Amino acid sequence: MGVLSSLSKGIALALLSGSLAHAAPAERIVSVGGSVTEIVYALGEGHRLVARDSTSSYPAEAEALPNVGYARALSPEGVLSVAPDMIIASSGAGPLETLEVLKQANVAYAEVPELYSPEGVIRKIETVAAALGAEEKAATLIADIKPRLVAAQAHAKVQAGDSPVRVLFILSTQGGRIMAGGRGTAADGIIRMAGGINAVDSFEGYKPMTDEAVSATAPDVILAMDRGGDHGVALEQLASLPALIPTPAAQNGRLVRMDGLSLLGFGPRTADTIETLSRAFYEGHGE
């Protein structure tokens, strides 16, 4: 009944093969997507996970699980090596070739939608819970999270007042070229929820920008992920990039970094993320 209820709300729960109506609940689950894994643990169902993808770094116990690779570059051998009876993955997981192989392996597959809004957070929780058969636990979790999302956004709106800050999200700076977040991205969604304006509105998705185009965005705040690898951008490096030097953000030292999963995951910690970003955007702003 719970699964049918969730589907009637338009939640995309797709199966590659088999059915959710297992003779017994799935007990060997692979989670793909950092927020998906986080939700599984928040529902108290982490003991059913046998593996996770490389983006699943929270909570800490998730990192002790076998790693089947990056969400968008999965191999069928890696996933099937842990003998799962279900995969719960965020939309966009792949590649399609891997999913086609898994279709032939009698492994149930639940797809979790990525929507960058408070409603999106709730739908993700409902979808994961439906796959797990944990709807009652989801109701408790949502009852806690939903009002906090509303309160965090309301406070951010008050903080912004009539002068919302312009925020430039930088995904990476490989080769000195800035890759920024445009419309329709997780970065765009969290910036707006925290009371800011995305300084990039000329394109959708994450794209490289010329130095001239970056300077023209004139951001009040520069936002980046606080993590290692290709997407780890040092604040000192940002401040010294020619494209950013003339911007108000660089001149005023308004450079903010945050854990990537918390910032862009749209999972159970999103209300906390909104509060943290709102403080970073507006404490001392305009003084």
Which runs of E-coded beta strand occur in 16-148?
29-32, 49-52, 86-90, 108-112
DSSP letter at 37?
A: H
- pTM (2 decimals)? 0.88
* pLDDT for the residue 85: 94
Are 272 and 202 found together in one domain? Answer: yes
Residue 227 has what pLDDT?
A: 58
Of 140, 160, 175, the last residue of a domain is 140
Note down the domain range covering 179: 148-282
Longest CA pairwise span in the chain (Å): 63
pLDDT along the chain (287 residues), means of 10: 40 42 77 97 98 96 97 95 96 91 88 96 98 97 98 97 97 88 98 98 96 97 75 63 93 92 96 98 72
Token code pair at residue 272: 């906390």
Q: What is the pLDDT of residue 226?
A: 83
What CATH number does residue 161 fall under?
A: 3.40.50.1980
| Region class of 131: left (phi > 0), else alpha (psi between -120 and 50), else beta | alpha
Question: Residues 112, 238: one domain?
Answer: no
- pLDDT score for 284: 64
